[in-house]
Structures are given as structure tokens and as C-alpha cells.
Structure 1
Amino acid sequence: MTEPGARPTHDESHGGALGSRLNWLRAAVLGANDGVVSTAGLVVGVAGATDDRSTLLTAGLAGLLAGSMSMAAGEYVSVSTQRDSEKAAIAMEKRELTEQPDAELEELTDLLEERGLSREVAREAAEQLTERDALRAHARVELGIDPDDLTNPWHAAWASFLAFTVGALLPLLAIVLPPSAWRLPVTVCSVLVALAFTGYVSARMGSAAVRPAVWRNVGGGALAMAVTYAAGSLLGAAGV
């Protein structure tokens, strides 16, 4: 209960910060999912051709390192491009504020009015925001960018690298640790359970239906393992 005269407090996260955290968490879940599927397909395919533990370990480690590095490099390039675009948009907005401040004030007023404010209130709010920090106001309202919190390519790269590695470790350990007769069933079962979990989590984070997401995830992983195992078995039988 709030005491008289005290300002009310709350612990709820702001929408932007919460959305950013959810995006990172969703990317981590999907990265781990990619690690599970790609590495499982690789080691199961090799298991179709040979049951040699060292060969399976070598193939699995190679797939883990190649996949995690590829994911990290891809995220770094992608997020760097996004960051460059954000910086360019902010620079353009800064130039426009210097060259045509009146037009920019009118534009900010229109944007605030579109969000439900009356024309008078929108104008007053635009003037106050401009007086306080015109560039930050336009960046947030017009561009949807927080100048103090631009996307970080290194964070994205490391997050993707770690997520993929964690996901890839499951099928790798499942294929090399059990006895020879149990390797394939243990790997398939553990991978399907992991895919069901990541499908469930990704669906809940996206407020989507859980059952279709889980079945898609599990079905895709099962199909990948079946195809690679069949290919490995054929190559092994042919003596390749």
C-alpha cells in the first residue's frame, strides 16, 4: 500500500526493453534449435555409414564449430548492417533538423497526432520534446530507434555462437557417449524431446499455438535425421 504523499512505484518492464529482451531470447532459442537439428542430421548421417566413435566425434565437432562460427558471422554481418542503417537514419534526421527545423517540428506534431493526441496537445508535446532533445525525440517517434541503445553486432554474434553450440552439444554427446547399440535411439529420442521443448518455448514467446509449432519442429527434425541416416546407410553399404 502506498503511503500518503509518496509516489507510486512499480516493477513492470517498459515495453521497449521487454520487447528487446524477448527478441534476444527468441533468437537464442532458435539458434539452439538450429544447432540441435543441423548437428543431429550430421551425426546421424555419419552413424548410418559407420559406428566408429572417433569418426562420429570428429564429424560432430566439425559440424558444431562450422555451424556456430557460421551463425556468429552471419549475425555479426546482419546486425552490423542494421546498425549502420540506424546510424545513417539518425545522421539524416540530424541534418534535416539543422536545415529545416520548422518542417521537422510540424512532422513530429503530425506523428504525435496520428498516435491519438489532439492537434493542440500534439503541438505542445512536439515543442516540449524538441526543446528538450529534438534528435532523440525524432529518432524515437519517427524512426523507432533509441539512440542510446543501438543494436550491437558483437552481442548478436556471441549470442548466436553460444546458442548454436549449446544446441549442438546435445546430439554430439548423445551419439558418442552411449554404447554402440544405443547411440542411434538415444540420439533420436533426445533430439526429438529437445525439439519439442524449443518448439514449445518459441510458440509461447510468440503467443502462437503450441501444438502446431511443436509438431512442425519435431517433424522437421525427424525428417532431417531420416534423410541423412538413409543417405549415410546407402554410402556405407556402397563402401564410400
Structure 2
Amino acid sequence: MKVTYVLKVKTNFFWDSLNVIRASILGANDGIISVSGIVLGAAGANLNSKTLLISGLSGMLAGACSMAGGEWISVSTQRDIQEKTMERQSQLENEDCENCPIKLQKNDILMPFHAAASSFCSFIIGAMIPLLTMILARPEHRVVFTLIAMIASLSINAVVCTHNSEVSTSKTILRNVITGLLTTLVTFILGASV
């Protein structure tokens, strides 16, 4: 006797939740790398603590607003496409659509505000790590401690990103760290050359 098992998955707002997770991970990564680059560039130029703080805060707020705005525009466009697709589906509802490969439901519609808000908040959280490290560390230890904090936080973000997936955690960590190091190297050299 053949037994068939049916797996039921709760899909309500699944795509919107997935989009929010993606925006959060990218926002945190960008916050860590961007503000690390800014404060290390300022440190390379031997700026004082007050200037470092203002530079870091300005970069953090500008970056968070930019990321949130980008997510809003991107997800709004995706939502518009989804709504047009649903309109076309409703026009064909009298026809046989069982063979349609994809049929969107109302719960599939993405919500731009969710992605924008999660991106904004995660950017701020990510940016606070290098900013606080730079401000709280002694001047002679600022660069080293900020680099360590950046590498550690990027590694943790990579682990979270690849959790329960088939993506290689070690490769993701390596990519994150290399991107962060290259960014901060460029900005530090630029600051030191001024």
C-alpha cells in the first residue's frame, strides 16, 4: 500500500516576511561596513573624538535613510507589478487557470513600509557597532578595536544569513569580511593621505 504524505505550509504573508528578512540582513551589513569606512577614514585623518562622532552619526543617518528609501522604491515597484498581475488574473477568473504556473493571492502582496522600516532599523543597529567602538575605545586602540568589531559583526551577520540554508557559511563570512576590509582600507588610506 502506497502512503502519500502531504506537507502543509502556512504561506500567509510569506513573501513579505521573506522580503523583510532580506532587507534587514542587507541593512545591517551596509550599516556595519559603511560606518566602519567612515569612522576609520576619519581616524586615518587624525580627527578628534567630536568630529569622529559627528561624521559617524551623519553617515549613519544618511545611510539609513538612503537604504530605507531604496527599499521603499524597489518594493513599491514590485508591489505595483503584483497588483497588475492580480488584475489580469481576476479578468481571467472565468477561464480555466488551474494550469497557470503562478497565481498570486492577496497575502502574497509585498508591503513597502515593512521593508523600508526593517532596512532603516537594521542599518542603525549595524552602524552603532563600529561607531560606539570608535568612540569608546582609547585613541591608540580605536582602529584595531573597530576593525575587530567590524569583522566580528559581519561574521555574525553572515551566520544569521545562512542559518537553515544550503549556502556555505564560511564563504559568506569570507565575502562579508573581505568587502568590509577593502572598504575600510580605501577610506583609511584616503583619510591618512589628507
- When normalised by structure 1's length, the TM-score is 0.72
d(CA) in 2 for partners of 1:44 and 1:54?
A: 14
1:150 and 2:109 aligned: yes
d(CA) in 1 for partners of 2:137 and 2:24?
A: 28
1:53 and 2:49 aligned: yes
d(CA) in 2 for partners of 1:227 and 1:175?
A: 18
Post-superposition shift, 1:95? 2.2
* Pair 142,219 (structure 1): closer, same or farther in 2 beyond 3 Å: closer
Q: How many percent identity over aligned positions?
A: 35
1:198 and 2:157 aligned: yes
d(CA) in 1 for partners of 2:164 and 2:127?
A: 22
SS in structure 2 at match of 1:81 = helix
Within 5 Å, which residues of 2 pair with 1:4-19? Answer: 14=10
Match of 2:178 in 1: 219
Residue-by-residue CA offset, 1:143-190 (whole Å, 9 max, x unaligned): 3x2213421111111111001110011111111112211211111111
Match of 1:28 in 2: 24
SS in structure 2 at match of 1:142 = coil
* Pair 214,186 (structure 1): closer, same or farther in 2 beyond 3 Å: same
* Pair 64,153 (structure 1): closer, same or farther in 2 beyond 3 Å: same
d(CA) in 2 for partners of 1:81 and 1:170?
A: 32
Q: Structure 2 unaligned runs (5+)?
A: 1-7
Are the aligned partners of 1:30 and 1:202 in contact in 2 as well (CA < 8 Å)? no
Q: How many equivalent residue pairs? A: 187
Within 5 Å, which residues of 2 pair with 1:85-100? Answer: 85-97=81-93
Post-superposition shift, 1:13? 5.2
SS in structure 2 at match of 1:148 = helix
Q: Per residue, is there more helix in 1 or in 2?
A: 1
* Pair 148,13 (structure 1): closer, same or farther in 2 beyond 3 Å: closer
Match of 2:79 in 1: 83
Match of 2:138 in 1: 179
d(CA) in 2 for partners of 1:13 and 1:64?
A: 38
d(CA) in 2 for partners of 1:205 and 1:165?
A: 26
Query: How much is the aligned-residue C-alpha RMSD, in angstroms?
Result: 2.0
Are the aligned partners of 2:23 and 2:71 in contact in 1 as well (CA < 8 Å)? no
Q: Structure 1 unaligned runs (5+)?
A: 1-11, 112-140, 236-240
d(CA) in 1 for partners of 2:193 and 2:60?
A: 24
Post-superposition shift, 1:193? 0.6
